[in-house]
Amino acid sequence: MSKRTIIEPFRIKSVEPIKVNTREERVNLLETAKLNVFKLRAEDVLLDWLTDSGTGAMSSAQWAAIMLGDESYAGAKSFYKLKEVLADVTGMEHFIPTHQGRAAEKVLFGAVCKKGDIIPNNCHFDTTRGNLEFLEVEAVDLVIKEGLQPSTIHPFKGNIDLERVEELLKKESGRIPFGMITITNNTGGGQPVSMANIREYSQLLKKYNKPLIMDVCRFAENAMFIKMREPGYEQKSIKEICRETFSYADGATMSAKKDGMVNIGGFIVLRTDQWLDNVREMLILSEGFITYGGMAGRDLEALAVGLQEGMDEDYLRYRLRTAEYLGERLEAVGIDFVKPTGGHAVYIDAKSVLPDMPIEQYPAWSLCNALYIEGGIRSVEIGSVMFGKRLPDGTETYHSMELVRLAFPRRMYTQSHFDFAAETIAELKANAKKIRGVRITKQAQFLRHFTAEFNWV
């Protein structure tokens, strides 16, 4: 393999200027936003790495496809085009469009689950868990133990622990309508799941007569990891790997805002018509008619093209390299992060930058703020603001990890942006003593990180 730089495999046809504010302006902007980067205006952010969801750049082929959108209420041409693309990749006949991933979850779970059920998964994403818990269904995370250890190197940290799955199946089979697996495992750091694990999980579920539903937001990134890391897959094409992955599933939900390479969209696919009538009924109630769900005809067209572009091997090699590259630069200056780097993001361990900051001052949140002030970079805290709680007696609970997630929009930023970020983070570590902690002045009872307000300590 050539040792030369893996380049962005595209050139730029249309640009969107980003505004460079001064440090002083950013301090004022952040203070106006109550020290919460969610409340900033996007135009005041230089590198917006809050999420990889729906934030990427579409290709010229996708923009061209937009003009072909058939906006008919029922039976649109665009629906059939996308259905064909999906059948080709997933091997599944039934395609149910939704406006994004959580809508697919709501519709499927609403049609199939009932109060008291249990769903095993490697890790449920928060909307997946939320939609299940809303129905009083228990969402059980059974990722392998390495998946919970940030610095342990393992090629497939997203794997599900099959022994614990079997234990659960033995004890609670009657309460489990299906098993789930999330590829890649976002909650665990964008970590991949191996083909062997997927295969064995599906066989185990089959033994207990349970279907396997996959959350496939980042199925193409997962396939590339399999190609690079799993013996026997080196010579296979991404499409072959994706097809084999889907061959073990009975259905899937997807937020197309990730590997679908679009700004909005999602779907459910199902192999058989067992749940189809119930699913369609739920769909019509909340999303729309069965041939458009929550999507415009033009969105269906852009997705039909995007799904294929998302499986391009050169693109995926560059995509995974981006995160790995930033990881190498952080490693060189002694900053810890979830290892190995995942597909769509780098998760920095804030304690390695701010070892002396007490947990009561929310180190990961404070590092997010510092990243914005010093570099105009917007990231997201995955720590004690997101997962901690203020109890009725006024005391706080804290999260076991203080992570800062930098999630990368697809085909948006170039290597110099990543160099700039690495330099900013290295400077922050060198001047860590100057980074100020925060305290919460106002918070909501649920999902407080989105709206909480803070003061400097």
Contact (Cβ atoms closer than 8 angstroms) between residue 125 and residue 186 = yes
125 interacts with ligand F0G by CB under 6 A:
yes
CA distances from 363 to 181, 308, 385, 433 (A): 31, 40, 10, 12
Element (H, E) at 226: helix 219-229
215 interacts with ligand F0G by CB under 6 A:
yes
78 interacts with ligand F0G by CB under 6 A:
no
Query: What's the closest the beta carbon of residue 333 comes to ligand F0G, in angstroms?
Result: 26
384 interacts with ligand F0G by CB under 6 A:
no
Which range touches ligand F0G (CB under 6 A), out of 83-91, 120-128, 326-334, 335-343? 120-128
Q: Which is nearer to ligand F0G, 72 or 127 (CB)?
A: 127
For β-strands 47-48 and 377-378, DSSP reports them as parallel
Q: 179 CB contacts (<8 Å, ≥6 apart)?
A: 119, 120, 121, 165, 201, 205, 210, 211, 212, 213
Q: Which of 192, 168, 185, 181 has the alpha carbon at shortest distance from 250? A: 181
Residue of 182, 245, 341, 369 interacting with ligand F0G (CB under 6 A):
182
Q: Which is nearer to ligand F0G, 89 or 108 (CB)?
A: 108
122 interacts with ligand F0G by CB under 6 A:
no
Query: What's the closest the beta carbon of residue 178 comes to ligand F0G, in angstroms?
Result: 16
Q: 392 CB contacts (<8 Å, ≥6 apart)?
A: none
Task: Give the CB-nearest residue to ligand F0G.
Answer: 101
Q: Which is nearer to ligand F0G, 341 or 435 (CB)?
A: 341
Residue of 69, 97, 101, 437 interacting with ligand F0G (CB under 6 A):
101
Query: What's the closest the beta carbon of residue 287 comes to ligand F0G, in angstroms?
Result: 12
CA distances from 236 to 113, 309, 316 (A): 37, 17, 14
217 interacts with ligand F0G by CB under 6 A:
yes
Query: What's the closest the beta carbon of residue 310 comes to ligand F0G, in angstroms?
Result: 15
Tokens of 248: 């073990």
Residue of 26, 46, 49, 53 interacting with ligand F0G (CB under 6 A):
53
| Alpha carbon distance 370, 372 (integer Å) | 5
Binders of ligand F0G: how many residues, by CB under 6 A? 16
Tokens of 26: 């950013």
User: Using omega within 30 degrees of 0 as the cis cutoff, is the peptide bond preceding 253 cis?
Assistant: no
Element (H, E) at 127: helix 126-134
Element (H, E) at 119: strand 118-121
Q: Which of 309, 303, 339 has the alpha carbon at shortest distance from 324? A: 339
* Helix residue ranges per DSSP H, 260-396: 276-286, 297-309, 313-332, 350-353, 363-375, 384-387
Query: What's the closest the beta carbon of residue 407 comes to ligand F0G, in angstroms?
Result: 6
Residues 338-357 that bind ligand F0G (CB under 6 A): none
Residue of 26, 37, 51, 132 interacting with ligand F0G (CB under 6 A):
51
128 interacts with ligand F0G by CB under 6 A:
yes
222 interacts with ligand F0G by CB under 6 A:
no
Residue of 78, 202, 255, 369 interacting with ligand F0G (CB under 6 A):
255
Query: What's the closest the beta carbon of residue 338 comes to ligand F0G, in angstroms?
Result: 14
Query: What's the closest the beta carbon of residue 147 comes to ligand F0G, in angstroms?
Result: 14
Contact (Cβ atoms closer than 8 angstroms) between residue 407 and residue 51 = yes
194 interacts with ligand F0G by CB under 6 A:
no
Q: Which is nearer to ligand F0G, 169 or 338 (CB)?
A: 338
| Alpha carbon distance 379, 37 (integer Å) | 8
100 interacts with ligand F0G by CB under 6 A:
yes
Query: What's the closest the beta carbon of residue 351 comes to ligand F0G, in angstroms?
Result: 22
| Alpha carbon distance 195, 107 (integer Å) | 28
127 interacts with ligand F0G by CB under 6 A:
yes
Q: Which is nearer to ligand F0G, 125 or 337 (CB)?
A: 125
131 interacts with ligand F0G by CB under 6 A:
no
| Alpha carbon distance 54, 142 (integer Å) | 28
Q: Which is nearer to ligand F0G, 81 or 344 (CB)?
A: 344
Tokens of 358: 């007490």
Q: Which is nearer to ligand F0G, 69 or 158 (CB)?
A: 158
Q: Which is nearer to ligand F0G, 102 or 210 (CB)?
A: 102
Q: Which of 301, 297, 319, 299 has the alpha carbon at shortest distance from 310? A: 319
Contact (Cβ atoms closer than 8 angstroms) between residue 34 and residue 456 = no
Q: Which is nearer to ligand F0G, 117 or 215 (CB)?
A: 215
Please give the residue ranges that form the binding site for ligand F0G (CB under 6 A). 51, 53, 100-102, 125, 127-128, 182, 186, 215, 217, 255, 257, 266, 407
